[in-house]
Amino acid sequence: METPNPVALAATLARELDWLSAVLSARVQHYFGSENAVAAMEDLPAPKLPADATDAYSQLVQREQLNRAERLVLILALAPHFRPQALDAFFLRNSQHDRRFSEVGGLQAENHAGFLPTGETALFLLAGNDLACRLPFQFHLFTDSVLATAGLIELEPTNAAEPALSGALTITPEALALLTAGYGVRQPASGAVLAQPVTTPLSWDDLVLEPTTLEQLHNLQAWLTQQSSLGQDAHLTRQLKPGYRVLFYGPTGTGKTLATSLLGETTGTSVYRVDLSAIVSKYIGETEKNLGRIFDRAERQRWILLFDEAEALFGKRTAIGSAHDRYANQEIGYLLQRMEQFPGLIVVAATAKGNLDEGFIRRFHAVLPFPLPGPVEREKLWRQAFAGIPVAPDVDFSVLAQQHQLTGGAISNVLRQCAVAVRQHDQPISTAAITQALQRQREAFN
C-alpha cells in the first residue's frame, strides 16, 4: 500500500480547521449582535479543494460530494482530535446565569480538557437561532445525510428524557482512520469493536451445500435485490413486516459465515458480524447501549447483520437465580425487540438448533441447515481447496473424502499447513504431508 503523504494531509486539515474557526467566530459575533459580524454565514465558503488532491480527506469530500454544511459538521467532529483549541470559544459563559450558554450545547470530558461538540453545537454553528434554517438540518443531518449513511459521524445515545441532539457528536473510529489515511486512531484488535466487517474473495461455486439449502440461499439473495420494490407494494406492506430473519445452524466450518458473506458480495451489501459471546462476557451492563449503536448504524447503512455464537444468549432457558440473570434477560429482550424492528437481513448462526430456545426459533422467517458434508461433498471440497496446488501422484482425494469426516473449514486448515510445506521444500504435496496435517488438526481440535 502506498505510504500516505502527511504534508498534504496536514495542509488540507489546517485549511479546514482555519475555516471552522472563522465560521465559529462569525457565528458567535452574529449571534450576539457584534458590529463586526459578517452579513451572512454563506460569505465564508468552504476552502476549495484541488481536483488532483492526493490526501484521503480531500478525496472523500470530493467523492461523496459533501456540501458546505456537511463539511462544516465533519471538521467540527474532527476538531477535538487535531485542534481542540479551535473550539475554546464555545466555553463562553452566560454572565446572567453564571453558566455556559445552553444553545451552543457541548460536553466537558473526564480526561480531555477541551470542548466536545454535540448535535446542538453543530446546529448552532449552522443556523444560530434561525429556527426555519435549523429544522431541515435537525431532521436530516444526523439520519440520512451522507455523513450518517456513510458512517462518518455518530451522535452518542442520550438518556430517554434528554434531547437526542444533546448526545456527543463524534467521528467514527473507522472514518477517522480512513480520513487520515492511516494516521488516525486504530481500533484495538482485542474485540472492543462489537461489529466487524466480513468479506470473501470466493463465489457461490466454492460453497458446497445440499441443493435445498442452496435454493433457500438464492431466495434470500433475491429478497435482498428486490427489497426496495417489495416495500412499494401496498398489499405486501400491509401484510408483511419489514426485514428478514434467518437462522443458519450446523457445525463449525460448514459454510455459515461464507454463505452470509456471499449474500453480501453478490448484492453489494456490507456484512457485519456481531459476536454475541463477546457481548455477554465484555459488555454486561452496557449491552443495550452498544447494541443500539450497532442497529442504528446498520439500519442507516443497510448492512446485513450476522450474529454469531447464538447459544451464548439464546440457549434453552434456565431458572433465574440472581439479579444478574434478570438483567441479562432484560438485555436479551432488548436485542429481540431490535431484531424484530430491523428492516434488513439478519442472519443468526448456531452450531445446533437443539441448543436454542424454541420460542426464539419461532421468530425466524427461515431456518437453514448446514450439515456436515458427506463423502461426495467432501471430495468436491478437497478438489476445490487444492485446485492449482501441486500435489504428488499418490494423493487420492476420493479416498481422503471417504476416510476423513471433515468440514470445509477443516479442509482449509489442512491446506494452510500443506501450503507452508510446499513453499519450504519446493515440492508437491504428498499423501504423507496431508496425513501429517490431518494428525495436527485432530490434536489441535481433539
Q: How far apart are CA 83 and CA 123, in angstroms?
A: 20
pLDDT at 87: 93
pLDDT at 320: 47
Distance of CA 268 to the CA centre of its chain: 15
Mean pLDDT confidence for 224-239: 73
**pLDDT-derived band at 84, boundaries 50, 70, 90:** very high
Mean pLDDT confidence for 295-306: 85
Beta-carbon contacts of 108 under 8 Å, excluding residues fewer than 6 positions away, are 115, 116
| Cβ atoms < 10 Å from Cβ of 37 | 16
pLDDT at 31: 84
pLDDT at 293: 75
pLDDT at 364: 94
Mean pLDDT confidence for 240-257: 91
pLDDT tens digit string along 261-274? Answer: 999 999 988 899 98
The backbone region for 55, taken as left when phi is positive above 0, alpha when psi lies in -120 to 50, beta otherwise, is: beta
pLDDT at 237: 67
**pLDDT-derived band at 328, boundaries 50, 70, 90:** low
Mean pLDDT confidence for 283-291: 66
Q: How far apart are CA 129 and CA 31, in angstroms?
A: 8
pLDDT tens digit string along 168-224? Answer: 999 988 788 877 755 443 343 333 356 788 999 999 999 999 999 999 999 999 999
pTM recorded for the entire structure: 0.61
| Cβ atoms < 10 Å from Cβ of 443 | 8
pLDDT at 186: 37
Residue range 195-369 forms a domain whose CATH class is alpha beta
pLDDT tens digit string along 104-139? Answer: 999 988 888 899 999 999 999 999 888 999 998 987
Give Cα separations from 138 to 113, 123, 305 (angstroms): 28, 7, 28
| Biggest CA pair distance of the chain | 91
pLDDT at 312: 73
* Domain 375-445 in CATH 1.10.8.60: yes
pLDDT at 35: 60
pLDDT at 37: 55
Among 60-64, 81-85, 125-129, 296-300, where is mean pLDDT lowest? Answer: 296-300
Sort 232 into a burial class: Cβ within 10 Å, 0-12 / 13-18 / 19+: exposed
Sort 328 into a burial class: Cβ within 10 Å, 0-12 / 13-18 / 19+: middle
User: 186, 185, 187, 165: which is closest to 82 by C-alpha?
Assistant: 185
CB 311 within 8 A of CB 350: yes
Sort 234 into a burial class: Cβ within 10 Å, 0-12 / 13-18 / 19+: exposed
Output phi, psi for 273, to 5 deg.
Answer: -100, 135
Q: How far apart are CA 271 and CA 274, in angstroms?
A: 10
Mean pLDDT confidence for 142-158: 81
Q: How far apart are CA 150 and CA 171, in angstroms?
A: 11
The listed range with the strongest mean pLDDT (221-235, 250-264, 424-438) is 250-264
Q: Which residue has the higher pLDDT, 149 or 79?
A: 79
Whether 244 has a pLDDT exceeding 70, the answer reads: yes
Among 77-86, 161-170, 325-334, where is mean pLDDT lowest? Answer: 325-334
Whether 315 has a pLDDT exceeding 90, the answer reads: no
Distance of CA 437 to the CA centre of its chain: 35
Q: How far apart are CA 441 and CA 333, in angstroms?
A: 39
CB 167 within 8 A of CB 117: no
pLDDT at 217: 96
Mean pLDDT confidence for 379-407: 92
Cell numbers that stand for 11 in this block: 495542509
Helix intervals (H) in 275-407: 276-282, 287-301, 311-314, 323-341, 358-361, 375-385, 397-403
Among 19-33, 280-294, 346-360, where is mean pLDDT lowest? Answer: 280-294
Name the percent of the chain lying above pLDDT 70: 86
Distance of CA 279 to the CA centre of its chain: 15
Q: How far apart are CA 337 and CA 73, in angstroms?
A: 32
Among 122-126, 175-179, 304-308, 340-344, where is mean pLDDT lowest? Answer: 175-179
CB 218 within 8 A of CB 246: no
Whether 1 has a pLDDT exceeding 80, the answer reads: no
Whether 97 has a pLDDT exceeding 90, the answer reads: no
pLDDT at 294: 82
Interior/surface letters 424-435, b for 16+ CB within 10 angstroms, e for the rest: eeeeebbeebbe
pLDDT at 116: 95
pLDDT at 279: 63
Q: Which residue has the higher pLDDT, 322 or 312?
A: 312
pLDDT at 378: 93
All structural domains of the chain with their residue ranges: 6-180, 195-369, 375-445
Cell numbers that stand for 149 in this block: 449513511
Q: How far apart are CA 136 and CA 114, in angstroms?
A: 29
Name the percent of the chain lying above pLDDT 90: 43
pLDDT at 185: 38
User: 264, 202, 274, 247: which is closest to 360 by C-alpha?
Assistant: 247
